[in-house]
């Protein structure tokens, strides 16, 4: 793409373009320090190139807020061709403007506080079963186990799966996810081709779940049931095709992210036994046994801080891309229409001017943060662009409260039951793509707490 003409009074951001065509793709994706290095060299607004397109790199909380305010006005979401083709046009992530806002209001009906109360028993029973299974095995790599668990919970609540989820479905979902960021060549042996076929089977499964629910005449109180009953501003329901695609995007958006958050939480708890002890003591005091309640989980302040700090240190989504639909000004520079841009969560969370010793795991830093937060308590909202694991603005994570609930339920049930010890000699350096998690998958020795 060529840069539109910029008048003499307008200044383009400084920067560099990298290799022909791919630009600085490799550095952007695989160098976790790329943003920080660019900022040190060129300041908070700089330019790079990615697959033949200019891109404005913005840094700092004010610029994050600028992009949040600019959603649908001067920026909109953008995805690689493979993702667009696999997600399809009828999903919240790929819808734009007024349609996006209307669909959000409709889908949000399945994520209201009252709905979440109804999801907690399914979360608790699946997490408890998984933890008991892990305790029987003693030593295991947690990442794949947690991946299956988060999928099972999502499948129970979104596809109406009653028993332990069919492994073929888990496999199809993984094949689908593996094709999302690939070259979109639809051939029998390519990752994209396999993902497309897995998508067809997943959509067929979702259609069958929708039809069975409609035939039964009862919608039910899970995500599928609430979305079948949900109505748009003008009173219309989602069509069968769109409902299935929207459910698929909910599965996609929630699965890897939660898996990363929970795996990293377990690792950090094992590495910081004093903090895990505080979490366990708090859980013993507030909710030592029996069914979990939303009210009790909301009283787990130390647990919440440990989870919030996990998402600060290793945010499951490192950054979000946008394309500029109308030129805008930032810090004296012009970002022309057609450029890519985005906000960078990981770089913001690692900014030493915002978080002291940003590489250190310190849940207590949120005690100070809470005092300055307009919401009073640790709150996952990006209230001032500093702490944004769930993004911000019109595209703030739709499943944020669902995710926070599942993470708190998991932490409480783990703390009730398990002592944690990392197995020796494992590679705990972080892999960043597609979500951050340790290379070893976190091999853990779990034993019952005495």
Q: How far is the CB of 436 from ligand HEM (least distance, A)?
A: 10
Where does this chain touch ligand HEM (CB under 6 A) — which range of 139-147, 159-167, 399-407, 416-424? 399-407
**Exposure letters 225-260 (e unless 16+ CB within 10 A, then b):** bbbbebeeeeeeebeeebbbbbbbbbbbbbbbbbbb
Q: How far is the CB of 223 from ligand HEM (least distance, A)?
A: 7
**Which of these, 195, 202, 168, lies nearest to 179 by C-alpha position?**
195
Q: How far is the CB of 215 from ligand HEM (least distance, A)?
A: 25
Smaller CB separation from ligand HEM, 192 or 390: 390
Where does this chain touch ligand HEM (CB under 6 A) — which range of 124-132, 257-265, 347-355, 423-431? 257-265
Q: Which of residues 403-432 bind ligand HEM (CB under 6 A)?
A: 403
Instruction: Tell me if 92 contacts ligand HEM by CB under 6 A.
Output: yes
Q: What is the DSSP letter of 110?
A: G
Smaller CB separation from ligand HEM, 49 or 349: 349
Under a CB-based contact definition with an 8 Å cutoff, are residues 333 and 11 in contact? yes
> How many positions of this chain bind ligand HEM (CB under 6 A)?
23
Query: Where is 443: in which H helix or E strand?
Result: strand 443-448
Instruction: Tell me if 266 contacts ligand HEM by CB under 6 A.
Output: no
53-82 mask for ligand HEM (x: CB under 6 A)?
A: ------------------------x-----
Instruction: Tell me if 225 contacts ligand HEM by CB under 6 A.
Output: no
Region for residue 278 given its phi and psi (left: phi exceeds 0; alpha: psi -120 to 50; beta: otherwise): alpha
Where does this chain touch ligand HEM (CB under 6 A) — which range of 18-26, 55-63, 254-262, 329-337? 254-262
Q: Is 72 helix (H, G, I), strand (E, B) or coil?
A: coil
113-152 mask for ligand HEM (x: CB under 6 A)?
A: ----------------------------------------
Q: Hey, CA dihedral for 294, 296, 300, 306, is it positive or negative?
A: negative
How far is Cα 399 from Cα 227, in angstroms, rounded to an integer?
A: 14
Instruction: Tell me the Cα Rg of the chain.
Output: 22
Residue 280 sits at the vertex; the CA angle it makes with 278 and 283, to the nearest 5 degrees, is 110
Smaller CB separation from ligand HEM, 42 or 79: 79
Q: What is the DSSP letter of 289?
A: S
Instruction: Tell me if 317 contacts ligand HEM by CB under 6 A.
Output: yes
Q: Which residues contact 217 (CB under 8 A, 6 or more apart)?
A: none
Q: How far is the CB of 121 from ligand HEM (least distance, A)?
A: 17
List of residues contacting ligand HEM (CB under 6 A): 77, 92-93, 104, 249-250, 253-254, 257-258, 261, 316-317, 320, 389-391, 395, 397-399, 402-403
């Amino acid at each position: 793409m060529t840069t539109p003409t910029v008048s003499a009074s307008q200044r383009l951001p400084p920067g560099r373009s990298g290799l022909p065509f791919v630009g600085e793709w490799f550095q952007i994706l695989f160098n976790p320090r790329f943003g920080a290095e660019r900022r040190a060299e060129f300041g908070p607004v700089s330019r790079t190139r990615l697959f033949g397109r200019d891109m404005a790199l913005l840094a700092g909380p004010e610029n994050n807020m600028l992009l949040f305010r600019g959603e649908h006005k001067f920026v909109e979401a953008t995805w690689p061709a493979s993702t667009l083709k696999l997600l399809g046009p009828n999903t919240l992530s790929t819808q734009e403007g007024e349609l996006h806002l209307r669909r959000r209001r409709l889908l949000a009906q399945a994520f209201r506080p009252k709905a979440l109360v109804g999801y907690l028993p399914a979360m608790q029973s699946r997490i408890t079963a998984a933890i008991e299974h892990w305790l029987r095995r003693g030593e295991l790599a947690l990442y794949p186990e947690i991946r299956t668990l988060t999928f099972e919970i999502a499948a129970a609540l979104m596809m109406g799966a009653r028993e332990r989820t069919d492994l073929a479905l888990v496999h199809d979902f993984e094949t689908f996810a593996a094709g999302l960021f690939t070259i979109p060549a639809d051939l029998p042996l390519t990752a994209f081709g396999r993902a497309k076929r897995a998508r067809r089977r997943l959509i067929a499964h979702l259609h069958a779940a929708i039809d069975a629910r409609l035939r039964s005449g009862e919608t039910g109180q899970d995500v599928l049931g609430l979305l079948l009953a949900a109505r748009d501003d003008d009173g219309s329901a989602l069509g069968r095709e769109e409902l299935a695609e929207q459910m698929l995007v909910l599965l996609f958006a929630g699965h890897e992210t939660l898996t990363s958050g929970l795996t990293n939480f377990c690792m950090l708890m094992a590495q910081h036994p004093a903090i895990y002890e505080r979490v366990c003591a708090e859980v013993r005091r507030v909710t030592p046994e029996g069914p979990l309640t939303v009210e009790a989980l909301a009283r787990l302040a130390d647990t919440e801080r440990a989870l919030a700090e996990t998402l600060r240190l290793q945010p499951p989504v490192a950054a979000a891309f946008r394309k500029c639909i109308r030129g805008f000004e930032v810090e004296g520079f012009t970002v022309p229409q057609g450029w890519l841009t985005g906000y960078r969560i990981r770089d913001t969370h690692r900014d030493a001017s915002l978080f002291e010793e940003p590489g250190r795991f310190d849940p207590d830093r949120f005690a100070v943060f809470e005092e300055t937060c307009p919401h009073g308590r640790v709150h996952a909202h990006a209230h001032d662009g500093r702490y944004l694991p769930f993004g911000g603005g019109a595209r703030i994570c739709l499943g944020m409260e669902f995710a926070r609930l599942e993470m708190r339920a998991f932490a409480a049930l783990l703390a009730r039951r398990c002592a944690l010890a990392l197995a020796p000699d494992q590679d705990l350096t972080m892999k960043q793509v597609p979500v951050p998690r340790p290379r070893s998958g976190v091999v853990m020795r779990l034993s019952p707490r005495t």
